[in-house]
């Protein structure tokens, strides 16, 4: 019977000032999925941080 692997806790990645600046700049201009991919974070993490910063992620019309 194979041994069960231990689940390792994921390391928390802190938000840098550059990450926050990029999020503020991109919010409303890019889709959440694109922002998350560029920041190498999950969409949920990006949405949560935007909520904490009171930044709207709603896409703006052109």
- Residue 3 has a pLDDT of 81
pLDDT averaged per 10 residues, the chain (length 62): 79 93 95 96 96 93 70
pTM: 0.79
Rounded Cα gap, residues 53 and 56, in angstroms? 9
Q: How far is CA 6 from CA 2, 3, 9, 14, in A?
A: 12, 9, 10, 24
Q: How far is CA 12 from CA 9, 53, 59, in A?
A: 9, 19, 28
The tokens describing 58, both together, are: 């709603």
Are the C-beta atoms of 23 and 46 separated by less than 8 Å?
yes
- Residue 62 has a pLDDT of 66
- Residue 33 has a pLDDT of 96
- Residue 61 has a pLDDT of 74
- Residue 36 has a pLDDT of 96
- Residue 10 has a pLDDT of 78
């Amino acid at each position: 019977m194979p041994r069960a692997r231990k689940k390792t806790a994921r390391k928390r990645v802190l938000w840098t000032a550059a990450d926050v600046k990029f999020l503020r700049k991109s919010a409303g201009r890019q889709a959440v999925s694109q922002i998350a991919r560029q920041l190498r974070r999950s969409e949920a993490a990006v949405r949560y941080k935007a909520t904490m910063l009171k930044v709207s992620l709603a896409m703006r019309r052109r």
